[in-house]
Amino acid sequence: MLDRLGELDGDELTGASKMYSFFLEALEGEMNIAYNVVGLKDFETAGVKVREASDKAHFNQYEDAMKLLSEAISHVASSGQWAMQTLKNDNLL
The string of pLDDT tens digits covering residues 3-44 is 788 788 999 988 998 999 899 999 999 999 999 988 889 999
pLDDT score of 50 more than 90: yes
Once rounded to an integer, what is the mean pLDDT over residues 66-92? 88
pLDDT score of 47 more than 90: yes
Domain that holds residue 53: 2-89
Predicted local distance difference test score (pLDDT) of residue 25? 93
- Asked if 62 contacts 2 with a C-beta cutoff of 8 angstroms, the reply is yes
Count of domains observed in the chain:
1
